[in-house]
Amino acid sequence: MIHNSDILFIYDAKMCNPNGDPDDENRPRMDVETSRNLVTDVRLKRYIRDYWQNKGENIFVATVDEKTVDATTRLAYWVCQKARESSDNDSIKQADKIEKALESGKKPSASDIVKLIASEAEILRGFIDVRTFGATMPIKDEKKGSSFTFTGPVQFNWGYSLNKVEPVYSNTITSTFAGRTKGEGDEYGAMGKDYRLYYSLLAFHGVVSASRGEKTNMKDDDVKKLEEALIKAIPLQATRSKIGQYPRLIVRVEYKDDETLLGDLRRYVKVDKEEGLRDVSEVILDISELDKKLLKNKEKINTIRFWQDDDLILICNGNKGKLKDISSAGLSEKMEIID
């Protein structure tokens, strides 16, 4: 059984583009008035889903054979896989029919797909990202449609940088392609823009809802897999423009009931230097207000699970060090290190 939780997740981005805006030439997303870098929750969840998929988990919002497919097609492939794993001849025949439609490029019958889904619980057992983040699954064909809708117990809002960021001012790049020549000894070059930031310390707030988790059959093991993904996913999923991003801090405050949530924990942390940051070694993250907030609500808290990167310096009420060592004595007994 899972409990309500608030999640504080902080990672940094150095000399890269954490989340390009397709409506603005793929420049890093920004709150221009405050010079804060923004990252969508969709970007964060994509990192997590890709990590899970690479670990062998079934993911609903995923590509099939490296191709982007709609919800109907994704479910069609999944129900066929499930049928092949069973020994039921009728299910296998139904899967044959669906696969023939897929191979011919046609949309499989919605009724044929639904026949191979025993219950909503079967879908939830099949996809960890649906149990966690929820999903809407419209199943469509020419004659009729059906749908499954799940509201995810885990939700993140957009992340923003705790520091004011600066763009790398030289962003023009040139590539030269051998074999395409203008004349003797000359080769064609192509110019483009490569927008990056010097340094961004990004913070996300997330929640785990126990009541919604009960409806999606989310288990404590799924929450632990989420913690693992937050630690490992971003560096492992880095592409050319994303290299330079590393997790620095995770704090998951788990409560004793399904009614308590303290809200956005980012309000209670701050960097001592907001401008001119270039590296994590220059960051001192003050968690004094977070410590006070948690101590005030100590009786509502079941446990505080955390992970801290060795390179991140924390300060709490004038003391520097690891979270467990510098937090109030009344909280230390509730703390568990995320492996």
123 domain-assigned = yes
Let me know whether 47 and 86 are in one domain. Answer: no
Residues 75 and 212 in one domain: no
CB 173 within 8 A of CB 191: yes
Q: Give a yes or no: residue 63 inside a domain.
A: no
Residues 46, 105 share a domain: no
Q: What is the three-class DSSP state of 100?
A: helix
206 and 284 in a single domain? The answer is: yes
For residues 243 and 259, membership in a common domain is answered with: yes
Last residue of a domain, one of 85, 118, 151: 151
Of 117, 151, 185, the residue that ends a domain is 151
277 assigned to some structural domain: yes
218 assigned to some structural domain: yes
Measured CA angle at 199 (ends 157, 247), to 5 deg: 55
The answer to whether residues 41 and 85 belong to one domain is no
Residues 211 and 314 in one domain: yes
Range of the domain at 207: 5-53+155-168+193-337
- What was the pLDDT predicted at 143? 57
Tell me whether residue 246 is in a domain. yes
Residue 274 is predicted with a pLDDT of 95
Tokens 């920004």: give the residue: 30
Residue 162: what pLDDT? 98
Classify strands 30-31 and 36-39 as parallel, antiparallel or unpaired: antiparallel
Beta strands in the chain (DSSP E): 5-16, 20-21, 27-28, 30-31, 36-39, 134-140, 145-151, 154-156, 159-161, 172-177, 188-193, 197-208, 245-255, 270-271, 284-286, 301-308, 313-316, 319-321, 335-337
Same-domain status, 86 and 31: no
DSSP 167: B
CB 303 within 8 A of CB 336: yes
pLDDT digits (tens), the chain, 339 positions: 899 999 999 999 999 999 999 999 999 999 999 999 999 999 999 999 999 999 999 999 987 777 778 888 899 999 999 898 887 888 998 899 999 988 888 888 888 898 899 889 999 999 999 999 999 988 876 555 678 899 999 999 999 999 999 999 876 765 554 555 555 555 555 566 899 999 999 999 999 999 999 999 999 999 999 999 999 999 998 888 899 999 999 999 999 999 999 999 999 999 999 999 999 999 999 999 999 999 999 999 999 999 999 999 999 999 999 999 999 988 999 999 998
Per-residue model confidence (pLDDT) at position 64: 76
164 and 30 share one domain:
yes
Residues 268 and 315 in one domain: yes
Looking at residue 18, what is its pLDDT?
96
Per the domain annotation, does 182 fall within a domain?
Answer: no
How far, CA to CA in Å, does 72 sit from each of 61, 83, 275?
12, 16, 48
Sheet strands side by side (includes 313-316): 270-271, 284-286, 313-316, 319-321
Provide Rg for the chain, Cα atoms: 24
In a domain, 323, yes or no: yes
Closest to 129 in 3D by CA, of 57, 209, 205 = 57
Pair of tokens at residue 337: 């290190």
pLDDT digits (tens, 9 = 90+) for 185-195: 555 555 668 99
Q: How far apart are CA 164 and CA 200, in angstroms?
A: 8
Instruction: Sort residue 39 into left (φ over 0), alpha (ψ -120 to 50) or beta.
Output: beta
Q: How far apart are CA 69 and CA 261, in angstroms?
A: 36
Q: How many structural domains is the chain composed of?
A: 2
Residues 15/168, Cβ–Cβ less than 8 Å: yes
Cα–Cα distance measured from residue 36 to residue 102, given in angstroms and rounded to the nearest whole number: 46
> Burial of 153 by CB count in 10 Å (0-12 exposed, 13-18 middle, 19+ buried)?
buried
How confident is the model at residue 185, as a pLDDT?
53
Kindly state whether residue 283 falls inside one of the protein's structural domains: yes
DSSP strand E in 61-142: where? Answer: 134-140
Residue 43 and residue 13: Cα distance in Å, rounded?
14
pTM score over 0.85: yes
Give the SS3 label for residue 300: helix
Note whether 308 and 217 are same-domain residues: yes
Statement to judge: residues 225 and 100 lie in one domain: no
Look at residues 211, 233, 210 and name the one whose alpha carbon lies nearest to residue 223: 210
